[in-house]
A and B are shown apart, each in its own frame.
Chain A
Amino acid sequence: MRDYGFVSYSSRDDFFDRSRAAWNPGKTQFWLDQGVDLVIDRRDGYHLWDADGRRLIDAHLNGGTYSLGHRHPELVAAMNEAMTHYDVGNHHFASVARTALAERLLATCDGSMGKVIFAAGGGEAIDIALKTARHATKRRKIVSIRNAFHGHTGLAVNAGNPRFSRLFLVDEPSQFPQVDFNDLSAMESALRGGDVAAVLLETVPATYGFVMPEPGYLAGVKDLCERYGTVYIADEVQTGLMRTGEMWGIYKAGVVPDILVTSKGTAGGLYPLGAVIVADKVAGWLDEDGFGHISTFGGAELGCIVAMKVLEITGRPQTKATVASIAARLSRGLGDIRSDHPDFFVGIRQNGLVIGLEFDHPVGAQLVMRALYDNGVWAIFSTLDTRVLQFKPGLLMSPELVDDLLERLHTAVGQARDAARVTSGRAA
């Protein structure tokens, strides 16, 4: 029996029944089938507590939403302080909070960007980016990569795996051609016709299992964009905000995009917020019709104030140095684990704290996810490549917690390997 005041239930089964009935039966059941019966209760730093008091290290962080940790005390303080004076504000008017955050975001882009457009989340931000590119080029086609994920709003969903656009009959494949990642000639074929408004790329495709771009690929795509008059949109939702060890992964790759999209961690997991940072040359619609995209909650002032604190913390030299330390420690530790299980743990994809772990089994990452869960770690498999586990540690973890996390992973990989042998044996 649990009583939260606003809800009480007699048992976990009772709660899951109610969740299935009133919220989302498919999702609720999916995780139960995966052996992850998580109902998150308390959260603090990089730890989550299940409703039964079981503690988990969070190595999912909702794709970087909690990169600075759950309920980071400085962010909570900024939010509380903001709450004494602000609310979401009125989206029509010039606002000190939005302007101040826009100036700070532009300052992270070395003078290459000119304007910031705010959204209530990542999907909306992608939609804004695509609309901006279409307006600037007067073209319609958007090229993305197969197995990409950019959110589930109207345009963004079309740039992703067709499973989600077909489900709702919103798929428009003729306007959203897709090419293979790391294939420059396929990209050139797609752009050569001169009718493509934008290439939309995650700097490291997350949901596809953090496949690392080959050296020169991103810069090559940018060159092609320039050659064919196409806007380059960097989806930095999972690679931005210092996760690669630099503020933006795309700049770390040596590419200056025309549009950069950030969300998830932008407001520290305390407020929904997305932002589209655009170069002046593609920002024309903001002069032509400033009401072109209206969003009541886009750039809500409470979120903007927290986001400024997020940028300040993320931009500290100490944060960057800590990310480098964590990445190096993880790189060493992951190598050790891999050398213990070379037949199962076959790949480490790492760019800073953007990490994918590859296992030699069709659902290897699901097995590891389950074993990690049993060992007190929450990390999620890649939806579009179930061999790869997304491993997303926080920017501010202590050395002790990193060691702890590695030890749990070591144990879990061994257990998943045993489980993989059993399932393979059964299959054979």
Chain B
Amino acid sequence: MSAQRAQARTTDWGPDAAARARTLLERARWAADEFASFDRAQVDRIVRAVAQAGHDNAARYAEWAVRETGFGVVADKTTKNQACSLGLLARYGDEDHVSARYDADAKILEIPRPAGVVVALTPSTNPISTVYFKVMLALMTRNAIVISPHPAAKAASADAARTLHAAAVAAGAPADVVQVVDEPTIPLVDALITDPGCGVVLATGGTPMVRAAYGSGNPALGVGPGNVPVLVDATADVVAAAKRIVASKAFDNSVLCTNESVLLAEDSIAADLLRALDDAGAHVCDPVERDRLRAWLYPEGRLRTAAIGRDAAWIAEQAGFRIRPGKRVLVAPFERPFEEPLTQEKLCPVLGFHTVADATRGIRLARLLLRWGGRGHSAAIHSRDRAAIMAFGAGVEAMRISVNVGASLGSSGFETNLAPTMTIGTGFVGRSSLGENLEPRHLVQYTRVAYNRDAGVAFDDFAGLQPWTARPTPPAARPAPHDTARPAGASQTPDGRAGRQELDLLREEIRRLVRAELQNALGAHHG
């Protein structure tokens, strides 16, 4: 019995995970190696084909993801899948992450160097859009990618990855440029991220996974969890703010990690704001409902994962009260923000609501909320006071602040001019090396070929040369040397062989002299 178990463990959890990871990564390295010599036009063709395939299947996978995970809203997921396929193409299609580039003034040539193999961990909340996103970014930068989806979304994620892979290969991409793990396990993920064959880990998910990515010994772009505070100050357009916040909370039932979690309302407009939220489609809980909601949503003080991505009516019913049809968000006012479960991240259309005396207190509290959880991630403010907006940006430790816009799509770059992304860098303050929204340029680095700054040394014109095809010019084809001057007295032969012989003689003479000197110094014993 125990021997059987040991055997089973070896098979499922033991060396096989490492071997399997290595097999995947070795295939990916070959694909990346081949891909690295593709030119802009080839890459462009592949990226377009994959974007189109993603778009064509956006609704199908949106439905599949909701069916498999129970999270979110099909229509909204479809929108996100479209945004992460043709949407990304529209945004980044004109960017060139393939060709060499050079700056004649700086006298620097830059040669792109992709990560090679991207190991991508993808979440259950936004499974397809994240697979799309990471595959698109990898392909735009000529990286191979190995995806390890969240177990709760593995079937839809794997199928989507294969669909994109088929489209890429049909458009000329190397085989296995996109691979996916069907049965993700912790040992397998661990083996993937720690294997030397992994070029960079893209970790989107919970803190333990992100920390594991950073502890892997491999380069990692890890991003942590959010818990978005949103401040509505007395100068805000309260009605507009309420509409934006409700729409943002309702979007995909709040599964985007950039969605608002706690609304801090300045005292003087708090009552108006609550009315406006009600008008905009939110249900404002009374204290009894709030207590029931808290008790259900945070049993033992921790978020009930069954609530993630579910709709407001369902959550209210679970908590033991009913809301009117058409209400899409539950607003839960609380008086004390400290040790209050409703200040935690929710990932469902429940919005904590707390009144602050003034914007200064609101900023300080928003800062604390992020320190308790979600530091570095994102925050939002609705205000017409530029000084308050600046103070909020400085005081609240988020790497992006959405202003007068819903935070779900604002901070993720779909309704602001931030880079549209499914991966939110939390910056040094959030223990990440990435402080921005992840975009294609983060997956490629450049070798910088820097010339002598001295004006007397010329830079070259690299037009028409490609890094992956350039070869040193054969001797016969070399142009005459620019500078034929030689030091006086040195012998000059066409191939320099006589000069080398002379040098060898000189070296031998020096060695002889040194030997003699040493013998004198050390005496006969050491002769």
A361 interface residue per 8 A CB criterion: no
Cβ-neighbour of B336 out of A53, A403, A411 (below 8 A): A411
Given contacts A53-B301, A376-B339, contact A410 B361 (CB under 8 A): yes
Q: List, in ascending order, chain A residues with CB within 8 A of B368's CB.
A: 403-404, 407
CB distance from A378 to the nearest CB of B (A): 12
CB distance from B105 to the nearest CB of A (A): 44
CB distance from B428 to the nearest CB of A (A): 15
Q: List, in ascending order, chain B residues with CB within 8 A of A376's CB.
A: 338-339
Given contacts A400-B371, A403-B367, A403-B368, contact A411 B338 (CB under 8 A): yes
A375 interface residue per 8 A CB criterion: yes
The CA of A408 and the CA of B357, in the complex, are separated in Å by 14
Q: List, in ascending order, chain A residues with CB within 8 A of B371's CB.
A: 400, 403-404
A54 interface residue per 8 A CB criterion: yes
Instruction: Give B340's nearest chain A residue, CB to CB.
Output: A376
CB distance from A296 to the nearest CB of B (A): 43
A414 interface residue per 8 A CB criterion: yes
The CA of A404 and the CA of B365, in the complex, are separated in Å by 9
B304 interface residue per 8 A CB criterion: no
Q: List, in ascending order, chain B residues with CB within 8 A of A370's CB.
A: none
Instruction: Give B365's nearest chain A residue, CB to CB.
Output: A407
Contact B357 A414 (CB under 8 A): yes
B 260-303 to A, binary, CB cutoff 8 A, 1 in contact else 0: 00000000000000000000000000000000000000001100
The CA of A400 and the CA of B338, in the complex, are separated in Å by 14
Contact A53 B357 (CB under 8 A): no
Contact A407 B364 (CB under 8 A): yes
The CA of A411 and the CA of B362, in the complex, are separated in Å by 12
A374 interface residue per 8 A CB criterion: yes
Q: What does DSSP make chain B's interface, helix, strand, loop or mixed?
A: helix
Instruction: Give A404's nearest chain B residue, CB to CB.
Output: B368
Max chain A Cβ within 10 angstroms of own Cβ: one of B336, B361, B365 = B336
What 4 new A-B contacts, CB under 8 Å, besides A403-B364, A403-B367?
Answer: A55-B339, A375-B339, A376-B339, A407-B365
Contact B336 A375 (CB under 8 A): yes
B70 interface residue per 8 A CB criterion: no
Instruction: Give A340's nearest chain B residue, CB to CB.
Output: B357
A 226-243 to B, binary, CB cutoff 8 A, 1 in contact else 0: 000000000000000000
B 359-396 to A, binary, CB cutoff 8 A, 1 in contact else 0: 00100110110010000000000000000000000000
Q: List, in ascending order, chain A residues with CB within 8 A of B357's CB.
A: 340, 414
Interface size on B, residues (CB 8 A): 13
Contact A408 B367 (CB under 8 A): no
CB distance from B174 to the nearest CB of A (A): 48
The CA of A146 and the CA of B338, in the complex, are separated in Å by 38
A 359-399 to B, binary, CB cutoff 8 A, 1 in contact else 0: 00000000000000011110000000000000000000000
Q: List, in ascending order, chain A residues with CB within 8 A of B365's CB.
A: 407
CB distance from B151 to the nearest CB of A (A): 29
The CA of A414 and the CA of B336, in the complex, are separated in Å by 12
Q: List, in ascending order, chain B residues with CB within 8 A of A375's CB.
A: 336, 338-339
Instruction: Give B339's nearest chain A residue, CB to CB.
Output: A376
Contact B336 A374 (CB under 8 A): yes
Contact B361 A53 (CB under 8 A): no
The CA of A404 and the CA of B357, in the complex, are separated in Å by 17
Instruction: Give A55's nearest chain B residue, CB to CB.
Output: B339
Cβ-neighbour of A54 out of B339, B361, B364 (below 8 A): B339
B219 interface residue per 8 A CB criterion: no
CB distance from B329 to the nearest CB of A (A): 26
B 330-345 to A, binary, CB cutoff 8 A, 1 in contact else 0: 0000001111000000
Max chain A Cβ within 10 angstroms of own Cβ: one of B338, B357, B367, B368 = B338
The CA of A410 and the CA of B367, in the complex, are separated in Å by 15
Interface size on A, residues (CB 8 A): 17
Q: What does DSSP make chain A's interface, helix, strand, loop or mixed?
A: helix
Chain B interfacial positions (CB closer than 8 Å to A) = 300-301, 336-339, 357, 361, 364-365, 367-368, 371
Q: List, in ascending order, chain A residues with CB within 8 A of B337's CB.
A: 411
Question: What are 23 A-B pairs with beta-carbon distances under 8 A?
Answer: A53-B301, A55-B339, A56-B339, A374-B336, A375-B336, A375-B338, A375-B339, A376-B339, A377-B338, A400-B371, A403-B364, A403-B371, A404-B368, A404-B371, A407-B364, A407-B365, A407-B368, A408-B338, A410-B361, A410-B364, A411-B336, A411-B338, A414-B357
Q: List, in ascending order, chain B residues with CB within 8 A of A407's CB.
A: 364-365, 368
Instruction: Give B360's nearest chain A residue, CB to CB.
Output: A336
Instruction: Give A414's nearest chain B residue, CB to CB.
Output: B357
Contact B300 A53 (CB under 8 A): yes
Q: List, in ascending order, chain A residues with CB within 8 A of B336's CB.
A: 374-375, 411
Q: List, in ascending order, chain A residues with CB within 8 A of B364's CB.
A: 403, 407, 410
Q: List, in ascending order, chain B residues with CB within 8 A of A408's CB.
A: 338
The CA of A401 and the CA of B410, in the complex, are separated in Å by 30
Instruction: Give B361's nearest chain A residue, CB to CB.
Output: A410
Instruction: Give A398's nearest chain B residue, CB to CB.
Output: B371
Instruction: Give A406's nearest chain B residue, CB to CB.
Output: B364
Instruction: Give A372's nearest chain B residue, CB to CB.
Output: B338
Instruction: Give A375's nearest chain B residue, CB to CB.
Output: B338
The CA of A414 and the CA of B338, in the complex, are separated in Å by 14
Max chain B Cβ within 10 angstroms of own Cβ: one of A54, A407, A414 = A407
Closest 6 interchain pairs by CB? A376-B339, A376-B338, A375-B338, A400-B371, A408-B338, A407-B368
Instruction: Give B356's nearest chain A residue, CB to CB.
Output: A411
Q: List, in ascending order, chain B residues with CB within 8 A of A53's CB.
A: 300-301
Q: List, in ascending order, chain A residues with CB within 8 A of B367's CB.
A: 403
Instruction: Give A333's nearest chain B residue, CB to CB.
Output: B364
The CA of A377 and the CA of B371, in the complex, are separated in Å by 17
A residues 233-274 with Cβ under 8 Å of B?
none
A 44-75 to B, binary, CB cutoff 8 A, 1 in contact else 0: 00000000011110000000000000000000
Q: List, in ascending order, chain B residues with CB within 8 A of A400's CB.
A: 371
Q: List, in ascending order, chain A residues with CB within 8 A of B338's CB.
A: 375-377, 408, 411
Instruction: Give B364's nearest chain A residue, CB to CB.
Output: A407
The CA of A404 and the CA of B336, in the complex, are separated in Å by 14
The CA of A403 and the CA of B300, in the complex, are separated in Å by 27
The CA of A408 and the CA of B300, in the complex, are separated in Å by 23
The CA of A404 and the CA of B368, in the complex, are separated in Å by 6
CB distance from A376 to the nearest CB of B (A): 4
The CA of A340 and the CA of B336, in the complex, are separated in Å by 18
CB distance from B280 to the nearest CB of A (A): 29
Q: List, in ascending order, chain A residues with CB within 8 A of B300's CB.
A: 53
CB distance from B391 to the nearest CB of A (A): 14
CB distance from B347 to the nearest CB of A (A): 22
The CA of A79 and the CA of B365, in the complex, are separated in Å by 39
CB distance from B371 to the nearest CB of A (A): 5
Q: List, in ascending order, chain B residues with CB within 8 A of A411's CB.
A: 336-338
CB distance from B426 to the nearest CB of A (A): 16
CB distance from B375 to the nearest CB of A (A): 9
A 325-341 to B, binary, CB cutoff 8 A, 1 in contact else 0: 00000000000000010
Instruction: Give B300's nearest chain A residue, CB to CB.
Output: A53
Q: List, in ascending order, chain B residues with CB within 8 A of A54's CB.
A: 339
CB distance from A306 to the nearest CB of B (A): 31
The CA of A54 and the CA of B364, in the complex, are separated in Å by 23
Q: List, in ascending order, chain A residues with CB within 8 A of B361's CB.
A: 410
CB distance from A227 to the nearest CB of B (A): 53
Q: List, in ascending order, chain B residues with CB within 8 A of A404's CB.
A: 368, 371
The CA of A400 and the CA of B367, in the complex, are separated in Å by 10
Q: List, in ascending order, chain B residues with CB within 8 A of A377's CB.
A: 338
The CA of A113 and the CA of B364, in the complex, are separated in Å by 48
The CA of A53 and the CA of B300, in the complex, are separated in Å by 8
Instruction: Give A399's nearest chain B residue, CB to CB.
Output: B371
A 403-428 to B, binary, CB cutoff 8 A, 1 in contact else 0: 11001101100100000000000000
CB distance from A130 to the nearest CB of B (A): 44
Q: List, in ascending order, chain B residues with CB within 8 A of A403's CB.
A: 364, 367-368, 371
Q: List, in ascending order, chain B residues with CB within 8 A of A414's CB.
A: 357
Q: List, in ascending order, chain A residues with CB within 8 A of B301's CB.
A: 53
Instruction: Give B337's nearest chain A residue, CB to CB.
Output: A411
CB distance from B475 to the nearest CB of A (A): 64
Instruction: Give B302's nearest chain A residue, CB to CB.
Output: A53
CB distance from B41 to the nearest CB of A (A): 52
